[in-house]
Each structure stands twice: as structure tokens, then as C-alpha cells.
Structure 1
Amino acid sequence: MDRVRRFLAVLREDLEAARRRDPAARSSLEVALGYPGVHAVWGYRVAHRMWREPGLRLPARLLSQAVRAATGIEIHPGAQLGRRLFIDHGMGVVIGETSLVGDDVVLFHGATLGGTSMRHGKRHPTLGDGVVVGAGAKILGPVWVGDGARVGANAVVVKDVPALATAVGVPAVVRERSRTTPAPDPDVDPAIYI
């Protein structure tokens, strides 16, 4: 029962993250019923729990493909997503199996966290906390994008991006670094986590 309560708390947290990050969101009901990015993250959370059980990996993959068909967002159930991920608009977002995504990340439509190798092992990116990935951006291979970094729209990242930096272009280059760190979200209870 405690696990169910914690799981529901995380789903509520995903809903609130979308409401806080999208100025067009008018109510929690609207977000819960009409935001495919939220639906994709919720579907992922169920599929990921299944993926952790070896006998449920095939059903987890099938669920992830059903969510993809419904939302246009493909998240492999083996990926590890942090708390309060917000996928804005979402169509065409792809998150590969060995991706690691920190807390409070925002991904815009068409963003890809993809691989560059067909070998087993870590082949997808790692995004730190508070990262923002612009529309159409591609982050490829086992690269690291540091906390608070921003990846510009349509950028192609194939090298690490330092914390608090902005990466733009094809291939992406670091154009600026912020001197401040992103503020933590004061409305979040850090004890709630799956």
C-alpha cells in the first residue's frame, strides 16, 4: 500500500511539474487529460517498473510501444528518468534505453536522446538536473550534459556539455556559461521518490 501511495505521489508530481512549466496550462484536469508529454511519462513509469522484473520485459516493451502509438513519444522502459520531467508538445521525442535523465528536465518536441553505437553497454546520453533541451535537438552517444545546461533548438550534441552552459549548432559548441546555479524547486518534498 505504501508503494502505491508513493507511486501516486510521483504521478501527481509529474502533473504539477507540467502545470508549473507551461504557462498555457489552465488546470490540473486539462493537463491530466490533454497533455501527451505527461501521458508518455506516466506510461514510462509503469513500463519501467515492469522492466525491472526480468519476466516482464516483453510486456514492458509492448506497453512502451502502445504509449508511443498514442502519444508520438518513444521512451524505452530501460531508460532512467528523474523526477518532474516535462515533455512540452512532445511529438517525435525519443529517449533511448541507456539514457539517464536527471530531475527537473524539460524536453521540447523532436528532441532525441539517441545512441551512436550498436554495441551493448552505455550508448545514450546522461542529462543532469535542470537541463533544457530545445525543439529538434539531438544528443547522441554516451555524452554528459551538466546540471542547468541548455541545448539549443536543432543542435546536435556529440561532446560533453559543462554544467550551466548553452550548446548550439551542428555540431553543437558551447556558446556561453551562466555564473548562477538554478534554484531548487521549493514546492517539492525530496522524500517522495520511486
Structure 2
Amino acid sequence: MFDRLISYLDSIKARDPAPRSRWEVLLYPGVWALGLHRLAHWLFEAELYFLARAVNHFSRFLTAIDIHPGAKIGRNFFIDHGFTVIGETAHIGDNVTIYQCVTLGGTNPTNGKGGKRHPTLMDNVIIGSGAQIIGPITVGERARVGANAVVTDDVPEGATMVGLKARSTLVPAETWLREFIPYGTPCDEPCEPSSQRIDELESRLAQLQAEIERMRGGDENAAGPRKRSGSST
């Protein structure tokens, strides 16, 4: 058990450059929230629902992270900062990273399959700050969801989702192969598929402005001789 804890703390240090030691990581609210969730989930599985909820409420008060006792969470789960909500039927794989203010939310119970209302995150998924993952969808392995994206459809393996409503954007192969991308977003590359279109429109606008200036210059040249000829009569 001690070896598993050390491995878990080291996995967080590998993803977060801020802590200088494992002792600092032990103070992270995400670590406390996950530890208390393990207890709450054990009580939930034993059908001790009230006690599970009591642990859940204490954890939320202490960490500002709300994980329903029924949620299933794999190894090395890291919530960086707080204010995250994870629903009852959410299923989270191994080595998943979630930043602050993320919601793994549910839909109407009648819309889910067999009571499944919340998302499934496969292994090595990264969810950026403020993202909303809604409904019984699956976020594929090694997928990234950018900050403030709203995802309501399945995400393919390895995709990077941006925008509202979120859409996939292609990233270079060397970026996709990286083990970890902070906040789920390759910030040194253009994330918005519309950026190319914006560049095209700005280029076209510059051309139109140049044409207008040439037309103005032509009008001034044409008006000059008329003024001189009028003054000589």
C-alpha cells in the first residue's frame, strides 16, 4: 500500500512542476478528495449510502471537489486545484488529469443507457480548466479537451477537442505522442480550426483596402485637370 501511495505521488509530480517534494503533494486538495472518495465508494458499494454521502459532503467541504460516491475511478487520478464535479455514473480510467472547474455531468436519466448518465474517460485523458463533459459519452484514450470546451458527443482516441460546442482539431504527430500536455491544450500550436480562415479574411481585407486607396488616388488625379481647365476660362 505504501508503494502504491509513493507511485501515486510521483505520478502527480511528473505532471505538475510546482511541488518540490512528495510532502507538498500530500497537501493537494485533489489528493485528499481522491482518498476520501475511495472510502466513500467502498461504503457505497456496501450499500451504506448515508455514510457514503456523509463522507462525500465532508470531502466537498474540505476540498471544494464533489465526487459522487458511486463514481468509479482508476489509478493515478489527478485533480489539479478544485471546484470540480463528478457525477454518480462517471467512469474514469488510469492516469487521467483534470484541471479546475470541470464538470463530468449527467443528462436526463431516461436518456442514458441502463442508468448511465455521466461520461466515461479512458486512460491518459486530460481535461482542461472549465471544460464541461456532459452525458453518457466516451472520451477516448489519450484524448485532450481544451479549456472551457463543452463536449456532448463521443471523443475519438487521441483527439483534441476545443470550442463550444467542442470540435476536434488536428495536432502534429509529435504533439500527440507526448505523454502529457498541461491543460489538455497544445498551446504552442493554433488550436482553433477557424484561425486559417481568419488569416484569409484579414488578407482579403488588406487587399480591399489597398484597392480603395488606389481608387481614391485615381479620383483625385482626375479631379485635378478639371479644376485647372475651369480656372483658365
Q: TM-score, normalised by structure 2?
A: 0.71
Match of 1:35 among 13, 19, 28: 28
Paired residue type of 1:13: S
Larger radius of gyration: 2
| Counterpart position of 1:139 | 133
The equivalent position to 1:148 in structure 2, one of 139, 142, 145, is 142
Output the CA distance in 1 between the equivalents of 2:178 and 2:141: 8
Post-superposition Cα deviations, 1:51-82, rounded to whole Å, max 9, x if no partner, equal 1101x221011101100010000011110111
The answer to whether the 8 Å contact 2:144/2:159 transfers is yes
Q: Could you tell me which residue of structure 1 aligns to residue 38 of structure 2? A: 45
Which runs of structure 2 are paired with 1:1-194 in the superposition (5 Å)?
5=1, 8-32=2-26, 34-54=27-47, 56-90=48-82, 92-119=83-110, 121-176=115-170, 179=173
Cα root mean square deviation, aligned: 1.8
**Aligned CA distance change for structure 1 residues 135 and 109 (closer, same or farther; 3 Å):** same
Partner of 2:170: helix, strand, or coil? strand
Letter in 2 for 1:47: A
Deviations 1:7-61 (A, max 9, x none): x5444333222222110111111111x210111111111111111101x221011
Q: Structure 1, unaligned stretches of length 5 or more?
A: 185-194
Task: Tell me the CA shift for residue 183 of structure 1.
Answer: 5.5
Higher deviation after alignment, 101-110 or 118-127: 118-127
Q: Which amino acid aligns with 2:51?
A: P
Name the % identity. 47
One-letter amino acid of the counterpart of residue 142, structure 2: G
Counterpart in 2 of 1:189? none
Following the alignment from structure 2 to structure 1, what is the Cα–Cα distance between the partners of residues 28 and 41?
A: 20
TM-score (norm 1): 0.84
More helix by share: 2
Q: Contact conserved, 1:116 with 1:141, CA < 8 A, in 2? A: yes
Preserved contact between residue 89 and residue 116 of structure 2 (Cα < 8 Å): yes
> How many residue pairs are counted as aligned between the two chains?
175
Identify the structure with bigger relative contact order (alpha carbons < 8 Å, sequence gap 6+). Answer: 1
Instruction: Name the SS of the counterpart of 2:88 in structure 1.
Output: coil
Q: Which runs of 4+ in 1 moved over 6 A?
A: none
CA positional deviation for 1:89: 1.3
Secondary structure of the corresponding residue to residue 103 of structure 1: coil
Q: Which has the higher strand share?
A: 1
Q: For 2:156 and 2:123, locate their aligned partners in 1 and report how far apart those are by CA, in whole Å.
A: 12
User: How far apart, in 1, do the equivalents of 2:41 and 2:4 lie?
Assistant: 14
Q: What amino acid is aligned across from residue 70 of structure 2 in structure 1? A: G
Q: For 1:76-121, what per-residue CA distance to the aligned partner results, in whole angstroms no more than 9, with x for missing partners? A: 111011100111112x101100001110000000011000114470
